Structure 1
Amino acid sequence: MSTEVVAVSAVSAEQQQSPSAPAQQNAVEKVNLLGMSRPQMEKFFEDMGEKKFRAGQVMKWIHQFFVTDFAEMTNISGKLREKLEKICEIKAPEVVHKNYSKDGTRKWVFRVGDGEGSLVETVLIPAEHRSGLRCTLCISSQVGCALDCSFCSTGKQGFQRDLNQAEIIGQLWMANYSYMEDVPVLERERSVTNVVMMGMGEPLLNYDAVLNSMRTMLDDFAYGMSKRRVTLSTSGVVPKIDQMVKDIDVALAISLHAPNDELRNKLVPINKKYPLEQLIAACKRYIEKDGNESSRKHVTIEYVMLDGVNDHPEHAQQMIKLLKNLPSKINLIPFNPFPHAPYGRSSRNRIISFQKTLSDAGFVCTIRQTRGDDIDAACGQLVGQVADRTRRAEQWKKKVAQQNEILRSQG
């Protein structure tokens, strides 16, 4: 029996049992094709009694021409289009807020569930590059974050749930579509050139959904992105870094933020479970499995600069020692303060001095340009200005206020 027949039969039986039930309860729950990877979609079509090559056709319409109406998929038979219309949908997350910065940065807040707290944010950052305009999209993988890094506003909102594949890939779909809403279907071209899994949440704690989403990003029937242009950023979930070696070849970035365990335990609490020695060893294992056109030639080290906390000359020397045998590029990130943040941004001179020490030691070290400050799009500000689902942020702000009061009374 086909999927269509099963679905319709189930609805009919429900109607017979409860003829007065609301219409929305009798509606067929449609399958969202947006988040399916190619193997998943091939299986879906085979289970429908169709040839699996239909998956590639539909994926191209969805991810290359950004079509959501099956009637527009002109190389598919009318009968199949009618069947798909009845049991499937192509649905991106709901946009509840969007803002475009004067510097070209774009930000979206998506609702991915019920309630005011079911929100995630996506940021698109354009930049001139020697190969042309580069548009990098920062994608979220979870609603909130459970890791509670002390300098990140997202962690202060607590953790609600993982995103599914449609909610992850839907962020990339919407960012591309924002450039071509009024462009004729066959003239549409993808605008996003790079993706970083660096938004809300820890990607490796939502492993399967993130993995399949990245596979769709790399798939020639979808976005066809180079594996060098898809980056996963992690705070250091060591077992999952090792799992990635077997499953996918994309660029790896590490949210380091401290060059020794004592300080990193305070800034990035997951370090207590996977300390620096284990993390650096996992990074080495990741890039050792190399191949032609591999993206694993180095690891990107992300290091947020916190005034008086991790920006001293001795911290730079500790970084040099820690990373001496790890092929890496270092990205220094000026901290973006948020309300009641217990840290300040390192001075420009301190950041430049830190960079010079690392560069003189032979490291490629850059300072990230802050972008989108006028629309709260900078790192560490995701969604915090839009919603706060848990009491964690409230409790944290109260704690900071109490500490400030103690300091004033002592002074």
Structure 2
Amino acid sequence: MKNIYDYSLEQLTEYFALIKQKPFRAKQVFSWLYQKDAQSFEDMSDLSKDLRNQLNEEFTLDVLKIKEKQVSRDGTIKYLFELLDGSLIESVLMIHDYGRSLCVTSQVGCNMKCTFCASGLLNKQRNLTAGEIVAQIIKVQEDVGQRISHVVVMGTGEPFDNYDNVMDFVRIINHPHGLAIGARHITISTCGLIDGINKYSEEGIQTNLAISLHAPNDEIRNELMPINKVYPMDDLREAVSNYISKTNRRVTFEYILLKDINDDIIYARQLAHYLRGLNAYVNLIPYNSVDEHGYQPSSKEQAEIFKSELLRLHINVTMRKEHGRDIDGACGQLRAKRNGVK
């Protein structure tokens, strides 16, 4: 069975032409899927019964199901989803003063092997389709009964290692007849795949780019993020600079603060030097400890010292509010536990 959420409006239009149906049927179905929250093809009351039966035979809306749900005291909800093939993935809903933000997963497992990250505890098994990423939003909206206003592709997997499906996903949720989530409310986070950044700079969409940096120099980044040995920091900086020039968009650099690893004030100065001249800001992230890796979060005092030094050196910086500390908050933790990783 085909996943109906894999289809863009254009692809649905082509499908209906193929089965000798009027093109406007595609907009009707799209509206039912994304505006009217149809739970089944039977709900699509303005389609003929024969057409609904045909769609029911060829497509499914039941792309994933909630396997487990953890609710934090701060309102954060972590979902463990089961896909049709039995694979498990995670999404995290965070409540902000500006709306509800969903962190979605783009791959089953991850091959980037960042040493602090729970996502890499299980190797990549496959890419998610565009529809499987879309379905995470649909299912969460259905579960909480409220609209998702912001989306970050920052869960398990490297989005630019699944480039085409992620871009199709973005176009579907951004489409005015789709979920109509504004481009500037969509963020894609990469660990630094330069080829992906270069392609992304040519897309012509006003979505946001975030770079998982997490280190002030190549020596530390090589230890934390093996991808740095392929795409070192100078090359990454050049790609980001080119992206900013082409898109006129500001870039976020994510920096997880790890005790005695990357949180010394000297490293704040190195980071400021690296970023000088870029239209960028730093998002400092308190670390959610992963037992398997042994890293510890920086103290609040040290985190404030690091942040203050960046501000002194005229670097725009924010400290991310902690979410889900009392649940399996780090990407991949819940899935790894359910797959028997200790």
- The interval holding the TM-score normalised by the smaller chain is over 0.9
Q: Distance in 1 between matches of 2:56 and 2:217?
A: 56
In structure 2, relative to structure 1, the CA distance for the partners of 1:87 and 1:113 (3 Å cut) is closer
Match of 2:34 among 44, 63, 69: 63
The SS at the match of 1:383 is: helix
Offset, 1:380: 5.9
Match of 1:200 among 132, 153, 156: 156
Aligned to 2:83: 112
Offset, 1:80: 2.2
Identical counterparts, % of pairs: 36
Offset, 1:273: 0.7
Offset, 1:150: 0.5
Offset, 1:286: 1.6
- Superposed CA deviations along residues 358-399 of structure 1, whole A, max 9, x for unmatched, are 1122222111121112221244635223224xxxx67xxxxx
Q: Residues 333-372 of structure 1: matches in 2 within 5 Å?
A: 333-372=285-324
Is 1:54 matched up with 2:25? yes
| Amino acid in the other structure paired with 2:94 | I
Question: Which shows bigger deviation, 359-368 or 198-207?
Answer: 359-368
| Amino acid in the other structure paired with 1:52 | P
In structure 2, relative to structure 1, the CA distance for the partners of 1:299 and 1:382 (3 Å cut) is farther
Aligned to 1:139: 104
Aligned to 2:90: 121
Q: Residues 240-279 of structure 1: matches in 2 within 5 Å?
A: 240-249=196-205, 250-279=207-236
Q: Distance in 2 between matches of 1:223 and 1:370?
A: 27
Q: Distance in 2 between matches of 1:363 and 1:257?
A: 16
Q: Residues 52-201 of structure 1: matches in 2 within 5 Å?
A: 52-114=23-85, 118-129=87-98, 134-180=99-145, 191-201=147-157
Q: Distance in 1 between matches of 2:203 and 2:92?
A: 27
The SS at the match of 2:333 is: coil
CA contact (8 A) 2:3 2:61 kept: yes
Q: What stretches of structure 1 of length at least 5 have no aligned partner?
A: 1-29, 181-189, 291-295, 395-411
Q: Distance in 2 between matches of 1:162 and 1:83?
A: 28
Q: Distance in 2 between matches of 1:231 and 1:147?
A: 19
Match of 1:298 among 242, 246, 250: 250
Offset, 1:179: 2.2
The SS at the match of 1:289 is: helix
The SS at the match of 1:57 is: helix
| Amino acid in the other structure paired with 2:201 | V
Q: Distance in 2 between matches of 1:312 and 1:179?
A: 41
The SS at the match of 1:286 is: helix
Offset, 1:100: 2.1
- Superposed CA deviations along residues 126-176 of structure 1, whole A, max 9, x for unmatched, are 0113xxxx1110000011110100100111222211111221111011111
Is 1:282 matched up with 2:239? yes
In structure 2, relative to structure 1, the CA distance for the partners of 1:225 and 1:331 (3 Å cut) is same
Q: Distance in 2 between matches of 1:40 and 1:261?
A: 44
Offset, 1:248: 4.7
The SS at the match of 1:374 is: coil
- Superposed CA deviations along residues 55-80 of structure 1, whole A, max 9, x for unmatched, are 22111111122213222212323332
Match of 1:223 among 157, 161, 179: 179
Q: Distance in 1 between matches of 2:211 and 2:51?
A: 45
Question: Which shows bigger deviation, 257-266 or 92-101?
Answer: 92-101
CA contact (8 A) 1:370 1:378 kept: no
Output the TM-score relative to the length of structure 2.
0.95
Offset, 1:193: 0.7
Q: Which of the pair has more CA radius of gyration?
A: 1
| Amino acid in the other structure paired with 1:142 | Q
In structure 2, relative to structure 1, the CA distance for the partners of 1:322 and 1:315 (3 Å cut) is same
Q: Distance in 1 between matches of 2:26 and 2:51?
A: 12
Q: Distance in 2 between matches of 1:300 and 1:233?
A: 9
- Superposed CA deviations along residues 179-230 of structure 1, whole A, max 9, x for unmatched, are 23xxxxxxxxx51110000000001001111110111110011111111100
In structure 2, relative to structure 1, the CA distance for the partners of 1:52 and 1:281 (3 Å cut) is farther
The SS at the match of 2:148 is: coil
Offset, 1:52: 2.5
The SS at the match of 2:32 is: helix
Q: Distance in 2 between matches of 1:346 and 1:359?
A: 18
| Amino acid in the other structure paired with 1:171 | Q
In structure 2, relative to structure 1, the CA distance for the partners of 1:200 and 1:382 (3 Å cut) is farther
Q: Distance in 1 between matches of 2:331 and 2:108?
A: 16
Match of 2:194 among 218, 235, 238: 238
| Amino acid in the other structure paired with 1:202 | E
Offset, 1:123: 0.3
Question: Which shows bigger deviation, 255-264 or 360-369?
Answer: 360-369
Q: Distance in 1 between matches of 2:49 and 2:121?
A: 50
| Amino acid in the other structure paired with 1:197 | V
Offset, 1:310: 0.5
- Superposed CA deviations along residues 227-265 of structure 1, whole A, max 9, x for unmatched, are 110000000000111111222521000000011111111
In structure 2, relative to structure 1, the CA distance for the partners of 1:214 and 1:43 (3 Å cut) is same
Q: Distance in 1 between matches of 2:26 and 2:239?
A: 36
- Superposed CA deviations along residues 262-304 of structure 1, whole A, max 9, x for unmatched, are 11111111011111111111112222223xxxxx520011000
